[in-house]
Amino acid sequence: MSTVPEPEVARPWRPEDEPRPKVWTWPRTDRPALWVRSHGAERYAPIVAKQE
């Protein structure tokens, strides 16, 4: 059993939260990807977006 907690939904960004986050997305047909090892198996993981 995993000890990693489930993610929580973040509240929407507000102007008083400066600075505004930067988000980049890739087209569905031309995404970068990684091979990730999970539970002993390698899985193909396309990258959808980058957020700073």
pLDDT tens digit sequence for 5-31 = 888 888 888 999 888 889 999 998 889
Confidence of residue 1 (pLDDT cuts 50, 70, 90): low
End-to-end CA distance of the chain: 31
pLDDT for the residue 30: 87
pLDDT for the residue 3: 83
Q: Burial level of 33, CB count in 10 A (0-12/13-18/19+)?
A: exposed
